[in-house]
Amino acid sequence: MLKVAADDGVALGRAAYTLGCLGEDIIASITLADRSLDLSPSSAGSWVIGGWLRLWAGQPDSAIEHFKAAINPRGPFAGAFLGAGVGCVLASRFNKAEAMLLRSLQGLSDWGAPYRWLASCYAHMKRPDDAKEMIRALRAIPADVVPTGIPYRNPAHRELFLSGLRLAAGEEM
């Protein structure tokens, strides 16, 4: 597919995301996503893909910049707010994370990810009541508290996320 779609920015972005999801070489996936942006610099979807890949690679600041580039005032993209919020959590900027994650809930209220990240964020902010409320909302969807696949390659980032979920769910550390 990559040979056939070498000049199709959207196809390259989707291929980069798929390879990143499958656990392939994350740096190669980022390189492919960057090529996608070279071909389609105004594609919000390509910016978001580049952002997620950078989050998974352990580059939250670079990821946040990609998500910000995808946010369009005429049509906010909830996935970009989610990604920026996740990046802020991973960078331990919890107040900024809360604002972004709450914005993401406006468009993703039927999906578990915003609730999980808000629960983890609130737990790290030492706001247990808010964290528990996010866990209750998550279970009402219904969704698992801990997702089955966690693509974050940086062990410290994975532990930050999971320790927040454990605290939010009231489990011992």
Task: List the CATH number of the domain containing 33.
Answer: 1.25.40.10
Write down the pTM of the prediction.
0.90
Integer-rounded Cα Rg, in Å, for the chain is: 16
Structural domain contains residue 67: yes
Q: Which domain holds residue 54?
A: 9-168
Number of domains in the chain: 1
* pLDDT recorded at residue 172: 45
For residue 147, being part of any structural domain is answered with yes
pLDDT confidence of residue 150: 87
pLDDT-derived band at 1, boundaries 50, 70, 90: very low
pLDDT per position as a tens digit, 137-155: 999 998 899 888 889 999 9
Determine the average pLDDT of the residues in 124-132: 97
The mean pLDDT value for 85-92 works out to 98
